[in-house]
Amino acid sequence: MNRRMTIVALTQKFSNPKNLTALHLGLLRQFCGMSYIVVYAGQVISRVKEVDASITPVVINLIQLVAGLAGIWIVGVFSRGALILSSSWLMGVINLIIGVSDILEEPVFCIVMMSIFMIPCAAGLNSVVYAYPSELVVASQGKYASALSWIGSATVTLAPPFIVAAVPGNLAYPIFFFFAFYLGVACFINALLVEPLSKSASKSQ
């Protein structure tokens, strides 16, 4: 009886749109491709002998920093729903392009797209996914989103080396295709969950 009541309570807890949105955003910030791009960029540019591979992650992180600072202003101008929906869509397309350029072994173009990726990621997505869950749920509920985010982080850290090792030429295009697919699914989830909550919050202000 107690077990049944616990299951019912958990079901009611996680069927709440705000709790579901917090869980979704916790996983999205790991499966958007940002962390892996910073790691893989150095490997990509190492194929270009004329360029110092150690510089690339620095440049990409610098772009991310500048875009993130711009995001502080942007998040105050546009709704959270619009920001996360547009940035998820754009980042999904860019991940797809990065994957194709990786197959074609075009390292310079690949790095250019990785650099462009950081702009909507830092200015749009990150300005929402890191702060918004704490606005939606109390701290006791936020721990579940944090736990899911850590699981996603561990997956992105541990799985790619094995995937790359299994692909001829040690290419990473399957990983970028996965990120593109996940972001495509996330667009539908954003439209169902994030956008309605964002509009509701705007009307209440």
15-51 pLDDT, tens per residue?
677 788 888 888 898 999 998 998 888 788 777 766 6
Looking at residue 121, its pLDDT comes to 93
| Percentage of the chain exceeding pLDDT 90 | 39
Looking at residue 47, its pLDDT comes to 77
pLDDT over 70 (residue 133): yes
Looking at residue 1, its pLDDT comes to 47
- Return the half-sphere exposure (C-beta side, CA atoms, 13 A cut-off) of residue 204: 6
pLDDT over 60 (residue 8): no
pLDDT band of 11, cuts 50, 70, 90:
low
pLDDT over 50 (residue 7): no
Amino acid (one-letter) located at 6: T
pLDDT tens readout for residues 141-190:
778 888 888 999 999 989 999 999 999 988 999 999 999 999 999 998 88
pLDDT band of 200, cuts 50, 70, 90:
low
pLDDT band of 135, cuts 50, 70, 90:
confident
Looking at residue 174, its pLDDT comes to 95
For the ranges 42-51, 84-93, 117-126, 162-171, the lowest mean pLDDT is seen at 42-51
pLDDT over 90 (residue 101): yes
CA distance 186 to 97: 18
Encode burial over 152-171: b for 16+ CB neighbours within 10 A, e otherwise. Answer: bbeebeeebeeebeeeeeeb
What's the pTM?
A: 0.84
Encode burial over 97-111: b for 16+ CB neighbours within 10 A, e otherwise. Answer: bbbbbbeeeebebbb
pLDDT over 80 (residue 89): yes
* Mean pLDDT (the chain, rounded): 82
